[in-house]
Amino acid sequence: MGQILGAAIVSHHPGLMQCEEFRVLQGAGSDSDLIPGYARLRERIQSVKPDAVLIFDSHWFTTGYHLLDGGDHFKGTYISDEMPWYLHGVPYDYRGCPELAVQIEAVSRERKGYVRNVRHPELGKQYATLNLVKHLQLELTQTPVLTVSSCQNCEWPQFLQSGEDIGEAIRRSDLRVVLLASGALSHKFNGIDWRPNHPRIFHESNVSRPENIESDKAAIELMRQGRHDEILARWDEDYRRKPWEAFGAHYLQMLGAMGGAACQAKGEPLSAYENARGTGNIHVWFNTQPHLSAGALNEFAAGSAASAS
Ligand SMILES: [Fe+2]
């Protein structure tokens, strides 16, 4: 029987793909904490040794369905059409997870859902997937990756429903997977002529609006407590209206796969809460196996690192 070993909401903002020297300058002398946060997340992922990673991609917008990029293998060179002056020439070479994509579509069709598989070799990639593939070193570990799109004409309950279909398909498979919701919380950009409130560009006071910072922090605290039910109760009035990146498609699909409002997986922040162009960013790990405490996972990861060195 398949299993969700863990999950995370993960920032992918493009500034993290700038060189370290530039990031340190932007950070007024020290790097974004999201960079060591990726290393912390790598430890969590490596400690559970998943058969596959699913990435809910908040940049891959589709209309009519949530789509799965169900190819066998992906190899190429990426250039962003959003910021090609620095995000270009990124080589990628990673495994897909075609069997799970087929299984998810079958389950979704059975449940009258909206998830479909595509296997087009020319389908473009998004940096919401590739930045995670690179920073989490999924190429090096040869971990199969299955990217899921954000359907832009779904309402938020349908994000949850698609996630439920995906969770059911995972349970019916023989795969042990990690889910990654790739995107920000509040996603209001600062204007092009905006001047920073704080010299460290990543500082939270540079997030677009004080009420967005307050709202994001309340959501993070609810994640920490495992109160996803309360996040959903506040969704319509608060988080949908900020709005979160991709209207929350990344988080809501991940949560749907983990049981929706019934999910009590506690969130462990793996980074500081930081600004990127006015959006609110953080990495939060969700332990879906509470019998394995964070301490045990850390010990396991430390042991793995020691035996590898
Ligand atoms: Fe983004």
Torsion of CA 193, 199, 201, 204, to 10 degrees: -110
pTM (predicted TM-score): 0.94
Q: Tell me: the pLDDT tens digits for 159-194? A: 999 999 999 999 999 999 999 999 999 999 999 999
> How many angstroms does the Cα of residue 12 sit away from the middle of ligand 1?
6
Using the Cα atoms of residue 191, residue 195, residue 198 and residue 199 in order, give the sign of their dihedral. positive
Bridge partners of 244, per DSSP, are 186
Contacts of 169 by beta carbon, 8 Å cutoff, 6+ apart? 2, 100, 103, 104, 106, 107, 108
Q: Tell me: the pLDDT tens digits for 8-46? A: 999 999 999 999 999 999 999 999 999 999 999 999 999
pLDDT value, residue 150? 98
Using the Cα atoms of residue 230, residue 235, residue 241 and residue 243 in order, give the sign of their dihedral. positive
> How many angstroms does the Cα of residue 129 sit away from the middle of ligand 1?
10
> How many angstroms does the Cα of residue 281 sit away from the middle of ligand 1?
10
> How many angstroms does the Cα of residue 4 sit away from the middle of ligand 1?
24
Contacts of 15 by beta carbon, 8 Å cutoff, 6+ apart? 23, 26, 32, 201, 276, 277
pLDDT value, residue 291? 64
Beta strands in the chain (DSSP E): 3-10, 52-62, 66-69, 73-78, 90-95, 115-118, 145-151, 176-182, 267-269, 274-276, 279-281, 284-286
pLDDT value, residue 293? 52
Distance of CA 175 to the CA centre of its chain: 19
Separation of alpha carbons 14 and 126, rounded Å: 11
pLDDT value, residue 34? 98
> How many angstroms does the Cα of residue 306 sit away from the middle of ligand 1?
35
> How many angstroms does the Cα of residue 102 sit away from the middle of ligand 1?
27
Residue 140: count other Cβ atoms within 10 Å of its Cβ.
Answer: 10
Q: What CATH superfamily classification does 3-301 receive?
A: LigB-like (3.40.830.10)
pLDDT value, residue 299? 52
pLDDT value, residue 304? 41
> How many angstroms does the Cα of residue 179 sit away from the middle of ligand 1?
17
> How many angstroms does the Cα of residue 187 sit away from the middle of ligand 1?
8
> How many angstroms does the Cα of residue 13 sit away from the middle of ligand 1?
5
Q: Tell me: the pLDDT tens digits for 261-289? A: 999 999 999 999 999 999 999 999 999 98
pLDDT value, residue 309? 36
